């Protein structure tokens, strides 16, 4: 019998049991009056973001805003200036002579493992014998001010013997230079299907990477504590991994390191693993100098040091019939991983998983290569490989449609997954919640796709310079970590004697509204107002071993764990009230700030005070693990996802055939969020995801020169979408159906799936190019003005 069961079995204490009990049970309010009072839940409403008021007032605390402890010093990185070479020496004399400089920290100062505690264990904390990309961190300069440290870091002289560098993914592929072994997935007989197909197309495609460009750059603040314990403030999506990495580098146990993150100023995947680097570097410096150390990268260094979205190169051969239905598909996918594995394995795996997007692939053969280049180690980014898989199949279907002279939407609809048949993925997961056909048809009608396509055709016939294009593309995105062990979460809910509630969970807030949604769910579970619930900073001393806030699963996991924790407290209170009123606990309800039984209602705070006086537990933990999922990583088969999120977008664009400039004119989106916990937040996520995806495919171009230097390392050369790029017509609707799986509030994940809806922009641009010149369209991504002009001029 556990403690909760003992409390419940003992029943409520009365003054007769203990005359010192100060609270006399209050008589309930008459039942009929309570029954007529409507109670509107917090979930399902567009509550403001829990930090919105503080953020607009400049009062929201980020890591760099935390009051600094006395004696804090500042670190700046020493960066490699060569893409690949032998590090023969590091001359720090000039740097140490600079004003304010206290010390230099190098690989020899690492007290623990000189390699980071990554899954593959292939990345040094500091480069020591070899450098493998321009911008690799060799050490730190520590000084009395930020600018003193940065100036001195540039005075460090490096003696590097240059070695041949591999900078392009196809060169790495040719050299068989890999960070991980290749993976192959097959279903049916692709070779035979291709041989017997009425039509064949073959081609190549390259898709660029993407800089995360979070508003708050990478930062860590490390403070030594007593008895070799450490407090780390980190702007991270994964505090538990930062804890593990820091303890590993310092050679101490995990329990000696506490990591806290109240919020991030954006993450997008770039702070899933790579926030850990800064925390480790700062901790090593703090260990050497025995004082607090803050390390914040400036924007240029952030670009040069951190990884991006993985660029991909593809080869494909596809067979199809006269209607555009696929008859065999052979694909080669080469991921540019950079100099180390980081998360490249699961990113490339998810690209394989999402190569089907919304379409049934009967005979398919996929080869996935994880290539090593002498660039930054690429990492997680919103979609986590999914966009790189989806863009390939959408490119292929668009090419097929133009080859046959068919409407691309019709070709896409002919290849959709079915409901009764043609409903199993190439990784052997049955698609059980398919809404693709009705969703696409609804968007086709609501966006007036057919009539607009006719009008655009008429426009293009009369307009010699400005050409327009329109496209609808769907998305089917799997929700769960593909590594099954990460699909778990914990939470704590505390109810205080005044009736206020505090919730803590293992997820992290990066502006996406996770804490807001969690607070809404907890408020409804306890029947209190949203404003009575406070979500607090992520903290490894409260929730241990938490998974990263990633894979779009933050709310699915953490809100459910918090709901379970709140439910335990609610059950304790329900049994207490049942004892007072002589009814079953199931007859006690919580809503509108009242706790009601058949005898009547009492205010929530009053019941809480009575329960405390009667020694009823008013806090609890909650734990959740995602059901049904399983996955064999050696064969890439199983059920890696709990469910799929669906959506579709209709985008209309215009291009200037003289300059290559383009503009997105109209966007209509129909997206599947299940039953929305917070409609305003979900719309914001859809808008933001779409625009970020639009940037990836149109303006955000990463350029490395022949020496391996990232030339586009600042806002002056790297262009994210601005307010002027947002289409005037930007309409978003929700698909009106709850999640068919038992997910929290019937909701669905919304962080990543909308990103891939922006592929409709790329396909619309191809349609505009096709209107200007006959033949196949080869439009490189991102579709910058230069690339659009190149496509217009290509034969």
Residue 559 DSSP class: H
What is the distance between the alpha carbons of residues 14 and 447, in angstroms, rounded to a whole number?
A: 66
- Which residue's structure tokens are 């509550």? 47
Q: What are the residues whose beta carbons fall under 8 Å from the beta carbon of 202, sequence distance 6 or more?
A: 315, 316, 317, 318
Task: Report the DSSP beta bridge partners of residue 479.
Answer: 643
Task: Report the DSSP beta bridge partners of residue 333.
Answer: 314, 368
How many Cβ atoms are within 10 Å of 619's Cβ, its own excluded? 15
Q: What are the residues whose beta carbons fall under 8 Å from the beta carbon of 256, sequence distance 6 or more?
A: 228, 229, 230, 247
What is the distance between the alpha carbons of residues 342 and 778, in angstroms, rounded to a whole number?
A: 32
Q: Is 788 exposed, middle or buried (0-12, 13-18, 19+ CB in 10 A)?
A: buried
How many Cβ atoms are within 10 Å of 432's Cβ, its own excluded? 13
Task: List the structure tokens of 228.
Answer: 């070799």
Which string of DSSP letters, residue by residue, matches 360-416? --SSEEEEEEEE--SS------TTTTHHHHHHHHHHHHHHHHHHHT--HHHHHHHTB
- Which residue's structure tokens are 């692939």? 361
Residue (of 399, 388, 384) closest to 480 by Cα position: 384
Cβ proximity of 331 and 355 under 8 Å: yes
Long-range contact list for 296-300, CB < 8 A, 24+ apart?
A: 296/63, 296/64, 296/146, 296/217, 296/218, 296/219, 297/77, 297/217, 297/218, 297/219, 298/150, 298/217, 299/217, 299/714, 299/715, 300/713, 300/714
- Which residue's structure tokens are 């590594």? 483
Task: List the structure tokens of 326.
Answer: 């696929």
Catalytic residue among 272, 752, 763, 767: 752
Q: Is 750 exposed, middle or buried (0-12, 13-18, 19+ CB in 10 A)?
A: buried
What is the distance between the alpha carbons of residues 125 and 278, in angstroms, rounded to a whole number?
A: 10
Task: Report the DSSP beta bridge partners of residue 103.
Answer: 142
| Cα torsion through 229, 235, 239, 243, rounded to 10 | -30
- Which residue's structure tokens are 């994940």? 749
Q: What are the residues whose beta carbons fall under 8 Å from the beta carbon of 451, sequence distance 6 or more?
A: none
What is the distance between the alpha carbons of residues 483 and 741, in angstroms, rounded to a whole number?
A: 20
Question: Is 752 a residue of the active site?
Answer: yes
What is the distance between the alpha carbons of residues 627 and 631, in angstroms, rounded to a whole number?
A: 12
- Please identify every residue annotated as catalytic: 752
């Amino acid at each position: 019998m556990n403690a909760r069961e003992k409390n419940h079995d003992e029943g409520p204490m009365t003054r007769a049991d203990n005359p010192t009990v100060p609270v006399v049970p209050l008589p309930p309010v008459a039942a009929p009056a309570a029954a007529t009072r409507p109670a509107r839940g917090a979930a399902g409403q567009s509550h403001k973001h829990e930090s919105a008021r503080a953020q607009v007032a400049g009062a929201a605390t980020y890591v760099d805003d935390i009051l600094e402890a006395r004696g804090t010093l500042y670190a700046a990185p020493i960066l490699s200036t060569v893409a690949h070479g032998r590090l023969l020496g590091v001359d720090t004399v000039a740097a140490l002579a600079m004003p304010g400089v206290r010390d230099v920290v190098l690989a020899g100062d690492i007290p623990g493992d000189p390699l980071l505690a990554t899954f593959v264990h292939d990345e040094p904390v500091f480069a020591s014998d070899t450098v493998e990309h321009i911008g690799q961190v060799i050490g730190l300069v520590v000084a009395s001010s930020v600018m003193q440290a940065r100036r001195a870091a540039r005075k460090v002289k490096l003696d590097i013997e240059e070695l041949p560098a591999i900078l392009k993914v196809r060169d790495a592929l040719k050299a068989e230079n890999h960070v991980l072994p290749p993976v192959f997935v097959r279903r049916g007989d692709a070779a035979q299907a291709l041989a017997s197909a009425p039509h064949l197309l073959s081609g190549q495609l390259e898709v660029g990477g993407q800089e995360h460009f979070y508003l708050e750059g990478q930062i860590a603040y490390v403070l030594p504590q007593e008895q070799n314990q450490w407090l780390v403030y980190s702007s991270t999506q994964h505090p538990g991994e930062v804890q593990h990495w820091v303890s590993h580098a310092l050679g101490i146990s995990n329990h000696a390191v506490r990591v806290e993150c109240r919020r991030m100023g954006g993450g997008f995947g770039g702070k899933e693993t790579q926030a850990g680097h800064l925390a480790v570097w700062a901790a090593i410096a703090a260990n050497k100098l025995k004082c607090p150390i803050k390390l914040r990268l400036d924007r240029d260094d952030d670009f040069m040091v951190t990884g991006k979205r993985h660029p991909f190169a593809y080869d494909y051969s596809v067979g199809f019939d006269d209607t555009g239905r696929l008859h065999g598909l052979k694909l080669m996918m080469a991921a540019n991983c950079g100099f180390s594995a980081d998360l490249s394995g699961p990113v490339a795996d998810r690209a394989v998983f999402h190569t089907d997007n919304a379409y049934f692939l009967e005979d398919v053969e996929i080869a996935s290569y994880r290539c090593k280049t002498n660039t930054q180690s690429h990492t997680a980014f919103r979609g986590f490989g999914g966009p790189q898989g989806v863009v390939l199949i959408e490119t292929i279907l668009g090419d097929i449609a133009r080859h046959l002279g068919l409407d691309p939407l019709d070709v896409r609809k002919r290849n959709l997954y079915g409901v009764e048949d043609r409903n199993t993925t190439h990784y052997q997961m049955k698609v059980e919640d398919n809404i693709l056909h009705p969703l696409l048809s609804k968007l086709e009608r609501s966006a007036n796709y057919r009539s607009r396509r006719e009008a655009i055709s008429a426009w293009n016939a009369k307009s010699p310079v400005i050409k327009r294009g329109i496209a609808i593309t769907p998305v089917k995105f799997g929700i769960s970590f593909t590594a099954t062990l990460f699909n778990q979460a914990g939470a704590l809910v505390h109810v205080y004697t005044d009736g206020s509630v505090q919730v803590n969970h293992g997820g992290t807030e990066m502006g996406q509204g996770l804490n807001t949604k969690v607070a809404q769910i907890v408020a409804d579970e306890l029947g209190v107002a949203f404003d009575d619930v406070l979500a607090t900073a992520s903290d490894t001393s409260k929730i241990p071993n938490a998974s990263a806030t990633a894979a779009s699963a933050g709310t699915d996991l953490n809100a459910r764990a918090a709901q379970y924790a709140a439910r335990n407290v609610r059950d304790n209170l329900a049994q207490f009230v049942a004892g007072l009123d002589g009814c079953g606990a199931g007859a006690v309800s919580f809503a509108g700030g009242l706790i009601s039984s058949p005898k009547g209602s009492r205010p929530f705070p009053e019941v809480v005070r009575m329960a405390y006086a009667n020694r009823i537990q008013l806090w609890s933990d909650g734990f959740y693990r995602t059901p049904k999922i399983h996955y064999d990583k050696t064969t890439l088969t199983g059920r890696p996802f709990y469910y799929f999120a669906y959506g579709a977008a209709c985008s209309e664009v215009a291009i200037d055939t003289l300059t290559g400039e383009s503009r997105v004119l109209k966007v209509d989106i129909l997206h599947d969020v299940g039953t929305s916990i917070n409609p305003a937040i979900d719309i914001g996520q859809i808008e933001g995801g779409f625009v970020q995806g639009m940037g990836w495919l149109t303006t955000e171009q990463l350029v490395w020169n022949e020496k391996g230097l990232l030339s586009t390392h600042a806002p002056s050369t790297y262009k994210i979408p601005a307010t002027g790029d947002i289409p005037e017509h930007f309409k978003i609707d929700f698909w009106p159906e709850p999640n068919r799986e038992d997910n929290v509030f019937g909701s669905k994940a919304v962080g990543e799936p909308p990103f891939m809806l922006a592929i409709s922009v790329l396909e619309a641009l191809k349609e505009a190019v096709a209107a200007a010149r006959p033949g196949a369209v080869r439009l490189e991504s991102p579709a910058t003005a230069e690339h659009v002009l190149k496509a217009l001029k290509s034969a």
